[in-house]
Amino acid sequence: MKLFLTIVDLLPLALAAKDLKSVIITYPQGTPDSVMDQAKESLKASGGVITHEYNLIKGFAAEAPAKALDIVSTQSDDHKPNIEEDQTVTINRDSVGEEHSF
């Protein structure tokens, strides 16, 4: 019975994991760390995961539900985040037009 209840409790999390978007969220220079911390906490509370924190730019990578990303985008009127889908970037194309990822 306990196993069944555990499975039932974890089912929504497993289903939600399919709906996670992989994103990079950056903020303008001068954005207080507290704004970024609030965004990260909101994502975690919504079932998201911070996958990388950047040092050279103000930002981080995450996997999070779309609804959580909507919340983060409206949390601060003064410091708007740039949220973009994390994707593969290619730099080389051969003469046939095929892309090569590195």
Q: In what order do the strands lie in the sheet with 49-53?
A: 49-53, 59-65, 20-26, 82-85
Q: Which residue has the tokens 């990388």?
A: 52
pLDDT digits (tens, 9 = 90+) for 60-89: 999 999 999 999 999 988 999 999 999 888
SS3 54: coil
- Both tokens of 31, joined, read 């954005």
- Please indicate, yes or no, whether the overall pTM of this predicted structure exceeds 0.85: no
**For the chain, which domains are there?**
19-87 (3.30.70.80)
pLDDT digits (tens, 9 = 90+) for 5-31: 455 455 565 555 558 999 999 999 999
